[in-house]
Amino acid sequence: MTKFSFAAAAALGVVVVTLGCSNQTGQEVTGEEVAVLVAPPSVPPPITRNHATRVVVNLETEEHVGRLADGVQYTFWTFGGQVPGNFIRIREGDEVEFHLNNRPDSRMPHNIDLHAVTGPGGGAVSSFTPPGRSSVFSFKALNPGLYVYHCATAPVGMHIANGMYGLILVEPVGGLSPVDREYYVMQGEFYTRGAYGAGGLQPFSMEKAIAENPDYVLFNGAVGALTGDNSLQANVGETVRLFVGNGGPNLISSFHVIGEIFDRVNHEAGTAVTENVQTTLIPAGGATIVEFSLESPGTFLIVDHSIFRTFNKGALGMLAVEGPADSTIYSGRLLDEIYIPEGGAIQEIPQEQGPAPTAMTAQERVEAGSRVYSQNCAACHQPNGLGLANAFPPLAESDYLNANKNRAIDVLLNGLSEEIVVNGETYDGVMPLLRLSDDDIANVLTYVYATWGNSGAVVTAREVARRR
Ligand code: HEC
Ligand SMILES: [Cu+2]
């Protein structure tokens, strides 16, 4: 196990003391405990111990098909079995022994980059874990704050887009101020082949992810994860603290609770507190802590104030507050009467039809195909076509590719999830459905066949159209 963090802490010690910073790098670490990991929207209880300790964290990566919206399924990749991942709560000065366990039934390798770690990759390199394996590394929590963690295995954007993010809270020495309720909310976007609401098992769309054009913008991984019976609960007279993260992978959140004013905000989850804030920005890969007291009963809507995301893409949560009304604060008309009916609307936007297949020379196909490749394939199969061991098969000199042109066309038309053997190596991953036009498929395959020592076969748009 590396001790880089302890050495760094010792080296920083003098400076830290001079600046009067609260990093308790000199604290004695006593005892050991296993972190209690809690699923959203709950968080583990506040830390009451007054010393740093050794904390063992056991986090499992798990892939499953689950509900994205009513009638819509999605293959989620998760930390702990749900989106967002389990909330981890530790204390400044703690030494964390981190175990990342990738389930044997996973198809992908995973790792973890915790923004609370001071060290290369935030732990990513030390935690790369193929299915059925477990990795251990350790770090010292030098800075208090609320931090995002996420998977950082290539293609990184795809692992995050599939749900691999969560929050870790490093409580400052002395703890946070006491409140009545604490909740865990995390925003993230999903990029599906079909439009918002289109039913069935929806594959990930790399095209839409690159264009930063999600169909779903969600709190806690599903439409309705925090509405109706799943609403957050509180009572009039109570104080509420929300730990809010943004997994992205692309969008910035304009986080807002309709009908409330944040009494205190730790902007970007840093130490500085701003009072009386209406809407606060949360960057992708960032977090915030908001606190407010409840004076009025009713349903308070939790939204991203980039408001089409709320009413058309799913970014809607609810805080249900019970208790006596005070008509001097609010007359009593419920906000949900105004907003809920709008929230159900799904806008259908007609699909654009690609241009009809065209006649192009092989050379023109190669040039156009090279662009399609770098935009759609290179993230997984790598710019040099060599793929990644145990994850993405090579296209360079691939016997699977060169043996059968029609089979290659079918892979691009349908995606692929069965076990295959390429150049003697077995792969059992998922090649997503990319929804390319006939021309793009013809071009990218012609390019791949013309490159890296492959057969030189030419694929035309007509051939693709015949197999579609
Ligand atoms: C998100 C990652 C990903 C992307 C993007 C992707 N692939 Fe794949 N591809 C895979 C995986 C994983 C497999 C193996 C699937 C299996 O095991 O069933 C595969 C298999 C293949 C195969 C058959 C195996 C071989 O090596 O010959 C071909 C051909 C292929 N991909 C071409 C492409 C092309 C062309 C693109 C871009 C248009 C592309 N892929 C984009 C992940 C990806
Ligand atoms: Cu991952």
pLDDT in tens, 26-70: 678 999 999 999 999 999 999 999 999 999 999 999 999 999 999
At residue 25, the pLDDT reads 53
More confident residue, 20 or 40: 40
Ligand 1 first shell, C-beta below 6 A:
155, 158, 206, 376-377, 379-381, 392-395, 398, 400-401, 408, 411-412, 416-418, 420, 422, 427-432, 434, 444, 448
At residue 433, the pLDDT reads 74
| Residue 337 reports pLDDT greater than 60 | no
Nearest-CA residue for ligand 1 atom 39 is: 377
Separation of alpha carbons 168 and 102, rounded Å: 19
Share of the chain above pLDDT 90, in %: 75
Lookup: tokens for 35: 């972190």
Domains and CATH numbers, the chain: 1-326 (2.60.40.420), 362-467 (1.10.760.10)
Band of residue 334 on the pLDDT scale cut at 50, 70, 90:
low
Lookup: tokens for 216: 């779903």
Which of 417, 388, 390 is closest to 75 using CA atoms?
Answer: 417
Cα torsion 42, 245, 256, 222: sign: negative
CA 159 to chain centre: 7
Q: Point out the ligand nearest to the CA of residue 165.
A: 2
At residue 440, the pLDDT reads 92
At residue 5, the pLDDT reads 37
Q: Point out the ligand nearest to the CA of residue 393.
A: 1
3-state SS of 194-232 is CCCCCCEECCECHHHHHCCCCCEEEECCCCCCCCHHHCE
pLDDT tens digit sequence for 77-97? 999 999 999 999 999 999 999
Q: What is the crossing angle of helices 438-450 and 405-414, to 10°?
A: 130
350 Cα–ligand 2 center, Å: 33
CB atoms within 10 A of CB 61: 27
Which of 380, 410, 447, 451 gets mutated to test ligand 1 (max ligand atoms within 8 A of its CB)? 380
The residue written with tokens 């959203």 in the block is 40
Which residues hold their Cβ within 5 A of ligand 2, which is an ion? 110, 151, 153, 159, 164
393 Cα–ligand 1 center, Å: 7
User: What rounded mean pLDDT belongs to the chain?
Assistant: 88
pTM above 0.75, yes or no: no
Q: Are 301 and 336 in contact (CB under 8 A)?
A: yes
Of these ranges, 10-14, 17-21, 93-97, the one predicted with the greatest mean pLDDT is 93-97
Q: Point out the ligand nearest to the CA of residue 400.
A: 1
Lookup: tokens for 298: 């009713």
